[in-house]
Amino acid sequence: MKPFIRESSIKDKVKELAQRLNRDYEGKTPIFIGILNGSFIFLSDLIREINVDCEIDFMKLSSYGDNQISSGNIKILKELNCQIEGRDIILVEDIIDSGLSIKYMRTLVEKENPKSLKIVALLFKKNVSNLDFEIDYVGFEIENEFVVGYGLDHAQKYRNLKGIYVL
Ligand code: IMP
Ligand code: MG
């Protein structure tokens, strides 16, 4: 396992993303929707840097199993519990790889007529993803490498690491 992004750099980046969100959502009450399991640490750190009123919900998708390659076959394992209609929604992802999961989530949320919909991703494999929309807030753009730590797993392990590592 090779060190890739250290804890202090992640911290700085999370603060920077939160600052932008605080500016952009001033006077609003957005709902942060974390996509489980990977985003749980990122979202919990991010939310503590947010100083506008906000709500939180989670959704759980499955597509990878224990493989490193996306199967493209997405299932909903936990549905949303919040009302999306008329609300400012912020989807929070740990990492965007093929883009299939975020595309799926985005379509799902858009069907419910949110007032606005933005996406925050800590990591973005820009050259791998095939997206026809923007990722509004990106922490780090990375190459096509499999990374673990800070919530990201391989076969459910390594989520507890404080930094991010290339496997
Ligand atoms: P996508 O649908 O291919 O964009 O994959 C998104 C999901 O796959 C992420 O939310 C992660 O849970 C997982 N994933 C993608 N790339 C990695 C990686 O490099 N390390 C760990 N998990 C990953
Ligand atoms: Mg994930």
Q: Which of 2, 93, 95, 129 to probe ligand 1 with, by most ligand atoms within 8 A of CB?
A: 95
Provide the b/e sequence for 85-104 (b: ≥16 CB within 10 Å). eebbbbbbbbbbbbbbbbbb
Q: What is the pLDDT of residue 76?
A: 85
Angle formed at CA 36 by CA 34 and CA 41, multiple of 5 degrees = 70
Atom number, ligand 1, closest to the C-alpha of residue 93: 10
Atom number, ligand 1, closest to the C-alpha of residue 101: 2
Q: What is the pLDDT of residue 17?
A: 98
Q: What is the pLDDT of residue 87?
A: 98
Q: What is the pLDDT of residue 95?
A: 97
Q: What is the mean pLDDT of each run of 10 residues along the chain (167 residues)?
A: 98 98 98 95 98 96 64 78 94 95 93 97 92 96 97 96 97
Q: What is the pLDDT of residue 71?
A: 58
Question: Any idea which ligand is nearest the CA of 155?
Answer: 1
| pTM of structure | 0.93
